[in-house]
Amino acid sequence: MTKRQFKPTYFLSIFVFLVLLDMIAGSSDYSLLRHFTKPSILLALFIYFAMNGKSLKRPTYILMLAALFFSWLGDVFLMYDTISPNYFILGLIAFLTAHLLYCVIFAKRFGKQLTLSFWVVLVLLIVYGGILFLQLQDGLGKLQIPVIIYITAILLMALTAFGRKRWVNVESFKLVFLGALFFIISDSILAVNKFLFSVPYSHILVMGTYATAQFLITKGVLLQNSK
């Protein structure tokens, strides 16, 4: 087995270990451990991409590093949202920035011809976003506008991910679009748990889907130049 073949498997083992460790830390009396485990997940992904993404076009490489950095920043801010609502706002802004950066990255490989499936996905995303907002609306208070903007951004991120279909290889498309869907699921669970009702095992569900989303998107972008 060559070094190139071994590296992704080696990293995946470390990544899964960090995610599981964070789930344990967040679901037990070792909550202080999360100050290490949660930031380390995106930090590891950032380093992995930095080492393996140099063959991509320079703008894509830089934008992906920026998206992963702002995701990491969002993770850090959201760790302290129980201390002050300002940390939640800062986390929202950081992830909003990350989603917009992902949109730019995906739009670089966006299809020039919009197919029927594109419009179907667009309608489904709009319907889902509208239903989610209506469910959350009463508990949002002054955060209604920021949440509308955030929902729009993450749905746009998923739409641009779908728009890469046929303009990148099949594996890259599937990984990135699936990652975008996992991101929507993760943020939906987080929002429902915060503004609507308590979701059982919310920490495990949110971190599991979130880590999966970030890994799939990163892996998919790394593969987009492959034949």
Q: Which two tokens stand for residue 53?
A: 């993404």
| Share of residues in the chain with pLDDT > 70 (%) | 93
Domain range for residue 108? 3-222
pLDDT of residue 27: 76
- Residue 227 resides in a domain: no
pLDDT of residue 3: 41
Listed residue (91, 81, 109, 124) closest to 223, CA to CA: 109
* Residue for token pair 């460790």: 21
- Residue 131 resides in a domain: yes
89-101 pLDDT, tens digit per residue, is 999 999 999 999 9
Q: How many domains does the chain have?
A: 1
The greatest distance separating any two alpha carbons of the chain, rounded to the nearest whole angstrom, comes to 56
Give this prediction's pTM.
Answer: 0.91
Q: In this model, does residue 2 exceed pLDDT 60?
A: no
Summarize the confidence of residues 61-88 as an average pLDDT: 92
Amino acid code (one letter) for 187:
D
Listed residue (27, 69, 24) closest to 46, CA to CA: 69
Helix (H) / strand (E) element for 128: namely helix 116-140
Pick left, alpha or beta for residue 165 (phi over 0 → left; psi -120 to 50 → alpha; otherwise beta). Answer: beta
- Residue 128 resides in a domain: yes
SS3 227: coil
* Residue for token pair 């915060």: 194
78-137 pLDDT, tens digit per residue, is 988 888 888 999 999 999 999 999 999 999 887 777 889 999 999 999 999 999 999 999
